[in-house]
Amino acid sequence: MRTGLSLRARLLALFAALLAAGFLLGLAALVLSAGPRVRAEAESATRISREFVETALAGLPQSGAPAAALERLLADFANLRHVRIYLDRAGASEPRTLDHRAPEWFERVIDARPTVTRIPLHPAGLAGAIVIETNPEDEVAEIWEDFWRFSLGGAAMALATFALMGFLVTRSLRPVGRMSGGLERLARGAYDVRLPLEGPSDFAGMAKRLNALSERLETLARENRSLGQRIVHVQDEERREIARNLHDEFGPTLFAIRAGLSALARKAQTGAEPAAVGAAVDATAAQVEALQQINRRILGQLRPAALDEFGLSAALGALIDNWRQSAASIEASLDVAPVADTLDETIALTVYRIVQEALTNVARHAGARRVEIAVAQSGRRLSVRVADDGAGFDPDAPRGFGLKGMNERIAALGGTLALVKGAAGGTVLTADLPLTAA
């Protein structure tokens, strides 16, 4: 994918365009003002020369020798700068060729053309006319020199300004390069990025926010590693618990069933009394029933069957009934909103596990006489509250793996878990969940 020019290149290109435009506008203004300047100079020189010539011609008749006086007058006009004054009559020399000291294209642009003014000599009793011809070459040459100096000086100034601006832009945008490098490191998983808070306030603020993002990602990475370790630990604990149940409960029961079947086979071979055979069969059946109960209990620990068959309300009721067998001295109440039976599988199972973990902690640690369980709906959210009147808890004590795992599971679903002391004592566990999992 094309990304185009960098920010630095775009800023420098924009500034270079502005400098070039200003430079060209300056040159254009100088050229446009040159024409009026040349014409004003020519008109002024022509006007002054005409007045002088007319005044001099008026005095020629009184000189006694008008022709000689005219020659002396023309000799005095020979060294004028901006005009040439000469006599136009038969046999007179032709006007001199102008000396072009500026390029012809420049003269054409400013329209620097000589002007000619004729003053007849017949009032002075002479033949011919005095010609006043303006010579714009000196003025044009001066303007051309100004144009050339301005071009060189302006170009040098523009280059120096551009170099200075390039240095300032590069220095000012240095934090952007550091932030780009920091983002690349974050993308590679290096969350130890910390940028210095330098440069303009905008860039310093961006660096501060990037540092905060890096710290947050670093924290999340540590939490994910810790969560992974806890998941492995929980899985190992679950496997050990299943293995212990199989060893301690399935093993002896299966051994008793095998022993009972062996005894039953011996009784059948020896022709024992039907009553004795029936007693052996009944004993074996009782062992099989016990094995089925153990199987249902272990399956219920792995996944409550009532949740799939009857819904969350019935599953929570069955959970509390089973819990009372080990905590008969604790009175329990359950209040479940109708929406509980329409929750999706993930949310319903999470609510079930929250209540299960809370009841286990109440039975083990609370020393409570009463516990209240409530599942309520509030808009598009679901709240789970388990409150007891026990001895409370130490807020500085580390949380167990059960609560830690539950908190992370709830957070993954977009919810929160809070454990606080009750107003009248005891402990209140509150969970806030969405009605549907993302």
> Exposed, middle or buried: residue 359 (CB in 10 Å: 0-12, 13-18, 19+)?
buried
Nearest to 54 by CA among 110, 118, 141: 118
Distance between CA 244 and CA 247 in Å, rounded? 5
Q: Which pLDDT belongs to residue 234?
A: 67
Sign of CA dihedral 303, 309, 313, 316: negative
Q: Which pLDDT belongs to residue 398?
A: 60
For residues 85, 88, 91, 96, the Cα torsion angle rounded to the nearest 10 degrees is 40
**The two structure tokens encoding residue 207:** 């660096």
pLDDT at 418 over 50: yes
Q: Which pLDDT belongs to residue 306?
A: 65
Q: Which pLDDT belongs to residue 1?
A: 43
pLDDT at 93 over 50: no
pLDDT at 51 over 70: yes
Q: Which pLDDT belongs to residue 415?
A: 85
For residues 221, 227, 230, 236, the Cα torsion angle rounded to the nearest 10 degrees is -110
Q: Which position has the higher pLDDT, 300 or 91?
A: 300
Tell me the CB-side half-sphere exposure of residue 242, using CA atoms within 13 A. Answer: 12
Q: Which pLDDT belongs to residue 121?
A: 77
pLDDT at 328 over 60: yes
Question: Can you tell me the mean pLDDT for 206-218?
Answer: 85
How many helices (H) and strands (E) the chain has is answered by 12, 8
Q: Which pLDDT belongs to residue 299?
A: 67
Contact in structure between 92 and 101 (CB atoms under 8 Å): no
Distance between CA 353 and CA 408 in Å, rounded? 13
- Give tens-digit pLDDT for 121-149: 776 667 778 888 877 777 788 888 888 88
Q: Which CATH architecture has domain 307-434?
A: 2-Layer Sandwich (3.30)
Assign 4 to helix, strand or coil. Answer: coil
- Give tens-digit pLDDT for 108-126: 777 777 778 888 877 666 7
- Give tens-digit pLDDT for 249-303: 667 777 777 777 777 677 666 766 677 667 767 777 777 777 777 777 676 666 6
Nearest to 319 by CA among 357, 356, 354: 356
**The two structure tokens encoding residue 3:** 């990304």
Q: Which of 41-50, 77-86, 316-325 has the lowest mean pLDDT?
A: 77-86
- In 173-273, alpha helices (H): 174-187, 201-245, 251-270
Distance between CA 316 and CA 306 in Å, rounded? 9
Distance between CA 345 and CA 437 in Å, rounded? 9
Question: Can you tell me the mean pLDDT for 203-218?
Answer: 84
Question: Can you tell me the mean pLDDT for 1-12?
Answer: 72
Question: Can you tell me the mean pLDDT for 87-91?
Answer: 63
Going from N- to C-terminal start, the domains of the chain cover: 7-172, 189-302, 307-434
Contact in structure between 114 and 97 (CB atoms under 8 Å): no
**The two structure tokens encoding residue 301:** 């620990």
What's CA 79's distance to the chain center, in Å?
Answer: 76
Q: Which pLDDT belongs to residue 302?
A: 65
pLDDT at 90 over 60: no
pLDDT at 235 over 60: yes
Q: Which of 159-168, 365-374, 381-390 has the lowest mean pLDDT?
A: 365-374
In sequence order, the β-bridge partners of residue 336 are 375
In sequence order, the β-bridge partners of residue 434 are 381
Q: Which position has the higher pLDDT, 24 or 232?
A: 24
**Both ends of the chain: CA-CA distance in Å?**
33
Average pLDDT over the chain reads 77
Q: Give the H/E segment covering residue 16.
A: helix 7-58
- In 59-136, alpha helices (H): 66-76, 104-110
Question: Can you tell me the mean pLDDT for 81-87?
Answer: 76
- Give tens-digit pLDDT for 150-208: 888 888 998 998 899 888 888 877 877 788 788 888 888 887 888 888 777 777 888 88
Candidate ranges 240-254, 298-312, 369-383; pick with highest mean pLDDT: 369-383
Distant-in-sequence, close-in-space partners of 284: CB < 8 Å, separation ≥ 6: 257, 260, 261, 264
Distance between CA 395 and CA 153 in Å, rounded? 78
